[in-house]
Amino acid sequence: MKRAAAALVAAVGRWVEERAGLGAAVTPALDHPVPRRTASWWYTFGSATLALFVLQIATGICLAFVYVPSADKAYESLLYLNYDAPFGWFLRAVHFWGSNAMVAVMTLHMIQVFLWGAHKYPREMTWVVGVFLFLCTLGMAFSGQLMRWDQDAYWGLGIGASIASRTPVVGQSVVQLILGGPIIAGRTLSRVFTAHVFLVPGILIALVGLHLWLVLRLGVNEWPMPGRLVDRETYKRRYEEEVHRDGVPFFPDAARKDMVACGVVILIVFACAAIFGPFGPHGVPDPTIIDTAPKPDFYFLALFALFALLPAWTETALLLFGPPLAIVLLLAVPFLAGTGEKSWTRRPVSVLGVILIVLTVTTLAGLGVVVPWSPVMSAWSGLATPVEYVRGRTPLQLQGALVFQNKQCRNCHALGGQGGRRGPALEGIATRQTRDQLIRQVLQGGGNMPAYGKNLSPAEVNALVAFMQTLRPPNVPPARTTTEPGAPTR
């Protein structure tokens, strides 16, 4: 019986193969020899990214069964997915965590191939296509975040439009092209939806195909050996010799680790999805609700931080030329260094470059989480004045402590470690500034502080400064000018 069934399966297989010839087409790709040492865990990030992409397609199609790409219904349809549709919350969660993982793993893949010198001759085009894949993936991440159609999405679009508006001459046209009209509304969401679901995925699928074709055609990058230089004359011949002398078939020898890596990455995404659940939507997209602090998803936090920290006069130039320049530089990498040493142990500039970029991006993203440059909008009304700053104070000083809270000083200045960090913390201000200096700073502002001259009565200024003069550690003398009696002499 068993034998008959096996024979039947084999016969059906032969019948299909005779007509479709799929086996004949795929077998060489599976069997193609790869250098033995490349059957390594380090070489699995690319496959893991592909697995995540497939996961995103599968979950994305499922979400599209329910999601309504209309400005008045999108938010509700997301709530329906979260709370009513069977497995809807889980699919949204997998799609969200999958997108995070895809950006992360793809970045690791990019760093790995760069450090292993895989962008060098003859794989320059593979790198170039990879850069476009990376950009498309970021585009998917951004448009996906906008399709959440909550407050973050609405104001995120506002930020995008504001950046676009800095384009000289045609700024307004570019803004309207992005928004699909003069304001952020239904037509904007339709555009974002079309980009996220049709345009960019189409480009991604085509580029993934090309990327894989190039990998098959040019072979997997050999493990770089220090001192073994890439030379256009000899490279291909030496590579062929190596894979024939000491190669293993891709399937199953190298594919084993790829399969494990793909499985592990998908399990991690599933675990995150099950534990943390779907992300958002946060707050209805009503532009008249302005008590909101928009923030992008993690992959754009570094950029978000940069906007706050760039000197204002450099901003337009950097916003307009920075991203294109970065893209051109990435694309140019294999043309600037297409031959020579592959091993990262002999490419100190490349290694330092990677470290520098990673440190810069993670530091900026970290700042983007803390947002020290933003006033803490509720600090003035929500935070208690620490007891040590009110105990034993005179009525005038206590009055000043009230002025300090009521005039929102706390939104930018911390006391006792709590409050805004836009301006300096004021615990020790009395040791740094004299009464006259404090009055001047409060009235005239300066150094990135608004002037309060018009908004404080003389009595309020008097009380406020009296309070601030008490802000010093015990046994540390207050700041004094050299003309005051008892001032330290130089």
Partner 1 sequence: MCPDHAPLSPPSPGRRGFLFKLGLALNVLGAALVGVPVLGFILAPMRRLGGQSWIRLGPVKDFPPGETRLATYENPGSAHWDGATAKTACWVRHVGNGQFQVFAVNCAHLGCPVRWFAQSRLFMCPCHGGVYYEDGTRASGPPPRGLFEYELQIRNGELYVRGGQLPTLAGPV
Residue 449 φ/ψ region, left for φ over 0, alpha for ψ in the -120 to 50 degree band, beta for the rest? beta
439 near partner 1 (CB under 8 A)? no
Residue type, 267: L
Of the candidate residues 136, 140, 141, 163, the single one contacting partner 1 (CB under 8 A): 163
Distance in Å, CB of 326 to partner 1, minimum: 19
Q: Does 475 bind partner 1 (CB under 8 A)?
A: no
Contact call for residue 43 and partner 1 (CB under 8 A):
no
The span of 89-97, 154-162, 210-218, 339-347 binding partner 1 (CB under 8 A) equals 154-162
**Residue 194 beta carbon to partner 1: minimum distance, rounded to whole angstroms:** 10
Q: Which stretch binds partner 1 (CB under 8 A): 28-36, 56-64, 326-334, 451-459?
A: 451-459
| Residue 307 touching partner 1 (CB under 8 A) | yes
Instruction: Tokens for 246, please give them.
Output: 């000491």
Which residues from 383-412 bind partner 1, rule CB under 8 A? 406-409, 411
Q: HSE-up of 329 (CA within 13 Å, CB side)?
A: 8
Contact assessment for residue 126 and residue 207, using Cβ atoms and an 8 Å cutoff: no
Minimum distance from residue 57 beta carbon to partner 1 (Å): 24
Only one of the segments 132-140, 238-246, 304-312, 358-366 lies at the binding site for partner 1 (rule: CB under 8 A); that segment is 304-312
Residue 248 is inside which H or E element, if any? strand 247-249
Per residue, what are the HEC states of 34-65? Answer: EEHHHCCHHHHHHHHHHHHHHHHHHHHHHHHC
Among 48, 103, 175, 383, binds partner 1 (CB under 8 A): 175
Stretch that binds partner 1, among 178-186, 218-226, 348-356, 479-487 (CB under 8 A): 178-186
In the complex, least distance from residue 154 CB atom to partner 1, rounded to whole angstroms: 7
SS3 letters across 161-223: HHHHCCCCCCHHHHHHHHHCCCCCCHHHHHHHHHHHHHHHHHHHHHHHHHHHHHHHHHCCCCC
Q: What is the CA radius of gyration of the chain?
A: 30
d(CA 407, CA 419): 13
In the chain, what is the straight-line distance between the N-terminal and C-terminal CA atoms, in Å? Answer: 107
**Measured from the CB atom, is 93 or 161 closer to partner 1?**
161
Q: Which of 448, 446, 442 is nearest to 400 (CA)?
A: 442
Instruction: Provide, rounded to whole angstroms, the least separation between the CB of residue 29 and partner 1.
Output: 34
Q: Which is nearer to partner 1, 139 or 186 (CB)?
A: 186
Say how far apart CA 308 and CA 303 lie, in whole Å. Answer: 9
Which of 3, 19, 237, 454 is the binder for partner 1 (CB under 8 A)? 454
Smaller CB separation from partner 1, 121 or 373: 373
Interacting span for partner 1 (CB under 8 A) from 30-38, 43-51, 123-131, 166-174: 166-174
Q: Is 158 a residue that touches partner 1 (CB under 8 A)?
A: yes
Tell me if 212 sits within 8 A of 123, measured CB to CB: no
CA angle, residues 425, 428, 431, in degrees to nearest 5: 135
Of 281, 452, 464, 471, the one binding partner 1 (CB under 8 A) is: 452
| SS3 of residue 249 by DSSP | strand
Segment interacting with partner 1, rule: CB under 8 A, options 30-38, 66-74, 230-238, 328-336? 66-74
- How many helices (H) and strands (E) the chain has is answered by 21, 2
- Alpha-carbon distance 332 to 116, whole Å? 17
**x/- string (CB under 8 A) for partner 1, residues 256-295?**
----------------------------xxxxx-xxxxx-
Q: Considering only residues 37, 57, 70, 462, which one is a binding residue for partner 1 as defined by CB under 8 A?
A: 70
Largest CA distance in the chain: 111
Instruction: List the structure tokens of 334.
Output: 């294999």
Q: Which of 24, 275, 312, 336 binds partner 1 (CB under 8 A)?
A: 312
Residue carrying the six token digits 């497995």: 87
Binding mask 346-385 for partner 1 (x = CB under 8 A): ---------------------------xxx-x--x-----
Task: Mark 289-302 as b/e (b = at least 16 C-beta within 10 Å).
Answer: eeebebbbbebbbb
Return the number of the residue (41 or 198) whose C-beta is nearest partner 1: 198
Identify which of residues 122 and 181 has a Cβ nearer to partner 1 in the complex: 181
Site membership for partner 1, residue 82 (CB under 8 A): no
What secondary structure letter does DSSP report for 478?
P
Q: Please choose, from the candidates 65, 70, 200, the residue with its C-alpha nearest in 3D space to the C-alpha of residue 144.
A: 200
CB neighbour list of residue 110: distance below 8 Å, 6 or more residues apart: 130, 134
Residues numbered 103 to 132 that lie near partner 1 (CB under 8 A) are none
- Applying CB under 8 A, does 443 fall inside the site for partner 1? no
Residues forming contacts to partner 1 in the complex (CB under 8 A) are 70-73, 75, 154-155, 158-159, 161-167, 171-177, 179-188, 284-288, 290-294, 304, 307-308, 310, 312, 315-316, 373-375, 377, 380, 406-409, 411, 422, 445, 448-452, 454-455
